[in-house]
Amino acid sequence: MSSLQELPPRTLRPVLTWNGVFLGARKALVLIPGLVVFAVAFGAAASAKGLSLLEAVLMSAVVYAGVSQLVAIELWRPEWSWGAIAGLAIVTATVNARMVLQGASLQPWLAPYPRLVNALHLFFFTDANWLIGTRYHADGGRDLGVLVGAGFIIWINWVLATVPGYLLGSLVADPRRYGIDLVMPIFFATMIVPLWRGRRAAVPWIVAGIVALATAKLVEGYAFIITGALSGALVGAFRDDRA
Amino acid sequence: MTVPDPILWGALAAIAAMAVATYLCRISGVVMMGFIPLTPHVRRGLAALPGSIVVATVLPLIERLGLAAALALLAAIGSMVLRRSELLALMVGMGVVSVARALGW
């Protein structure tokens, strides 16, 4: 019942197995079709904006963060100044700032692993494997392979699917018609069910939702994830659990 | 001494800058929490964080995406309550949104 028991002590022995990697990859499979369509859409947008195939694939491979890649394509230009590059980096960091909080929420799980291991697998860290890892950890799982395997299979598909998107371009049908644009929102929303720990534990979530809605009304972009999630965490931290 | 404008390799520099910015986002939460002692307050805050991230991400998206999206997400959550299957919930949600959009909602 108590959500405190969900967080293991830092001294827990770290586990990282191939079984975990395969389990994580299998858990990610349901997301691959939607992800492929998203990557295809990115490839098409990149080719329309004049990036070379190499640049589009390279961006998918080393940035590997879909929304920020689409935003970058919006801002893409034929010639770059240092100021424009710095501006793009700042916009990218703003769009991806949610990863800071997602990483923080997993830190108690990651802490016992060697720093180099964490530095390597966090390159593959993204919304989808955060969700899969969080669910797995909330259900009592501790094998880091799940996070790694899910992140890696998503990365491979993301990079590969950029190519046909780039080459086929405008032939790609509107993903909205099949509800593909809702794959990640649906996957996020269903996470509420395994994370549910009773009504009292949901109070911070309600605060998070209200603050996020208000922020979305007032500020453009994706700041609402940060303000909402931080408010929820603060309420969770300072509520008296004994009441 | 001035740095020459990145004309020839500007696109690659832009991609590299994006990659660095994103990787810093990926690691900085984990790194920062390593310096913060896990007091009971911090533990409770961290325990509330995943659900807060999920709700804070989804609610404004529903508002932006409209009624069809809201129905799809509710249907998916309902499916998840009845059967703990992400695949089923995903299919239910996408089915509902396809029908709702075909009806012009």
State pLDDT tens for residues A16-31: 999 999 999 999 998 8
- Structural domain count of chain A: 2
**Do A99 and A141 fall within a single domain?**
yes
The residue-averaged pLDDT of A70-77 equals: 89
What was the pLDDT predicted at A229? 94
In single-letter form, the type of residue at position A147 comes to L
Rounded percentage of chain A residues whose pLDDT exceeds 90:
61
Cα–Cα distance measured from residue B39 to residue A10, given in angstroms and rounded to the nearest whole number? 12
Q: How confident is the model at residue A203 (pLDDT cuts 50, 70, 90)?
A: very high
Q: Which residues of A touch B45 (CB under 8 A)?
A: 233-234, 236-237
Q: Per the domain annotation, does A180 fall within a domain?
A: yes
**Do A106 and A203 fall within a single domain?**
no
- Chain A, 42 to 81: residues with Cβ < 8 Å from chain B are 51-52, 55, 58-59, 62-65, 68-69, 72, 76, 79-81
Q: Per the domain annotation, does A35 fall within a domain?
A: yes
CB-based contact A80:A55 (threshold 8 Å): no
Q: Per the domain annotation, does A9 fall within a domain?
A: no
Name the residue with higher pLDDT: A177 or A94: A94
Q: Per the domain annotation, does A206 fall within a domain?
A: yes
Q: Per the domain annotation, does A77 fall within a domain?
A: yes
Among B18, B29, B52, the residue with its CB nearest the CB of A99 is: B29
Cα–Cα distances in Å, from A231 out to A197, A212, B78?
A: 19, 9, 27
Cα–Cα distances in Å, from A66 out to A35, A36, A70, A162?
A: 9, 11, 6, 11
What was the pLDDT predicted at A240? 66
Q: How many CB atoms lie within 10 A of CB B39?
A: 10
The residue-averaged pLDDT of B30-57 equals: 91
Min Cα distance A168 → chain B (Å) is 22
The predicted model scores a pTM of 0.84
Q: How many CB atoms lie within 10 A of CB A206?
A: 16
**Do A67 and A133 fall within a single domain?**
yes
Residue A239: domain span = 197-243
Cα–Cα distance measured from residue A158 to residue A67, given in angstroms and rounded to the nearest whole number? 12
pLDDT score of A182 more than 60: yes
Q: Per the domain annotation, does A8 fall within a domain?
A: no
**Do A219 and A156 fall within a single domain?**
no
**Do A124 and A236 fall within a single domain?**
no
**Do A58 and A167 fall within a single domain?**
yes
A142-175: b (≥16 Cβ within 10 Å) or e: bbbbbbbbbbbbbbebbbebbbbbbeeeeeeeeb
**Do A127 and A219 fall within a single domain?**
no
**Do A173 and A206 fall within a single domain?**
no
Among B18, B29, B97, the residue with its CB nearest the CB of A68 is: B18
- Residue that terminates a domain, selected from A196, A213, A233: A196
CB-based contact A149:A25 (threshold 8 Å): yes
**Do A187 and A209 fall within a single domain?**
no
Token representation of residue B62: 């529903």
**Do A115 and A159 fall within a single domain?**
yes
What was the pLDDT predicted at B3? 65
**Do A120 and A144 fall within a single domain?**
yes
- Residue that terminates a domain, selected from A181, A196, A211: A196
Most confident of A180-194, B16-30, B63-77: B16-30
CB contact under 8 A, A30 and B87: yes
Q: Per the domain annotation, does A141 fall within a domain?
A: yes
Q: How confident is the model at residue A178 (pLDDT cuts 50, 70, 90)?
A: low
Q: Which residues of A touch B69 (CB under 8 A)?
A: 182, 185
**Do A27 and A137 fall within a single domain?**
yes
Among B29, B52, B53, the residue with its CB nearest the CB of A107 is: B29
Beta bridge partner(s), residue A15: A143
